[in-house]
A and B are shown apart, each in its own frame.
Chain A
Amino acid sequence: MIKTEDKYKLTVSCITENEDNIYRLALSYVKDRDKALDIVQNTVLRALENYKKLRSADSVKSWLFRIAVNEANRYMTKNGREIPQEESEMPEEPYIEKAYEKSEGSVVYEAVMLLPEEMRTVIILRYFEEFSLNEIAEPTETNLSTVKSRLYAAHRRLERMLKEVEA
């Protein structure tokens, strides 16, 4: 059992250490700088309000990302899930191809960003943020087997998307 004062300190230091990471995750949902900043702001406010609910020092990062994922989802629910106007006007196929043609770009990255939210978040947390499968279960409010199956499904989807681009 950790002391209340330590919970507060842990929360604050976890926020400052991960502010960039939370911003990137938020951006993967809303694809808009200002909206992503809003999500970060809400995440920070909510974490500071609820720091007493923190259970152990180990889980602080998972807990913070869980709040961030929740806030991102809430934002998407409130504002509808369509992609911003400018992007939706663009044809989907060239979007991937354009990135692929640039040698410094990464077609995998582009494909990840086009995955459905649930799959994308699992991929981001697993490969970009290097969470363990267990650590992903908390932010995504699921259990280990769901995480595994989503990750597997995400892989298959990615393979398929990449094949289409090459074809």
Chain B
Amino acid sequence: MEKVKQKDLILYSGLIILGLAAPYLFSAFKVQLTYLCVLIVLAMTWNLQGGEMGYNSFGNILFYGLGMYLTASVQVGMFFPLAEWTESGGEKTFVHTTAQYFQGIGVGLLVSAIIPALVAGAIGYAILGLRGHYFAICTLGLGIAAGEIAGGIEIIGAGQGFTTPPFPAEIVDVEARGKFFYFLSFFVLVLAFVFVKYIYGSRFRLILNAIRDNEDKAEAMGIQTMKYKIVGWMVSAFFCGLAGGIMGGLIGYIDSTDVAFDGREMGVFMVLMAILGGKGTLWGPIIGATLFHFFKEGLWTFILGWQYVALGVLIVVIVIYFPEGLMGWLREKYPERFGEVIDEKDRKSQVELK
């Protein structure tokens, strides 16, 4: 046991050092690296309820978009009238000072994590009572409805979009903006990882798995399934909101359906990444997100215009031929690496039965 822990320690410290050094090593790719961190957070937290709990949600984009709008609104609204800001659109009549900018984004991110979690808690009792595909379709509807409704609300820019406050001009270092957002997203990633890792070692995960495998039985065993389902969804919402807030600041412009409640991109990406890596594993979504991001960034520019066709085909191929994901495939191939012992006699007898 000692040895394994030491191995883990080396792995984690290596990853953290790599993460901290990454913006200096690959300084041209800071934006892509930030994206990667956000994608990993989204995939990991989607997996928590899609993979562990068995509630395949298409609607986590709701919390992502909510977080994005909340961060930007708080950041502006703390110092200036929000309506005038959105009305002036791209032309800036108000300028944040450096201190105001960082105060704003700090408070904004806090709000954007807490409010989506509360929203998830509030609607959880109604929505999580749905099972299987009804849940999937309902959350899909929620995400799209949120986008359509946000596109009609005047104070957050309606259809013309919402420009988030620009990075303070007083900071002379041109690299500062990229670094700031990278380290912010990396911090959230580490936070999410530590939290998810903690959950993986706890009783909570076993309960989530029990809900996935047979919810009625779990309920009959005396587990208050609804309570745990809501908590699981709130955790997802918390991190989705944070991720959304960071992305809003990074992109600098929020559109209701193309950036914030972007069910066609982000909403599908998080599901796809988790499935690609392997649902219901700790490392699966991380590997899946990394692979997917490399694939996307590498290929997108070569197949310009055809990227959605490629994405659609990719979804179909992964879902049909690769539903267990990379980790599931590895597990099948090297079960002993995952701590599974196969009884040869038992296996043989099963083969004979067939």
Do A and B interact? Answer: no
Q: A-side interface residues toward B, CB under 8 Å? A: none
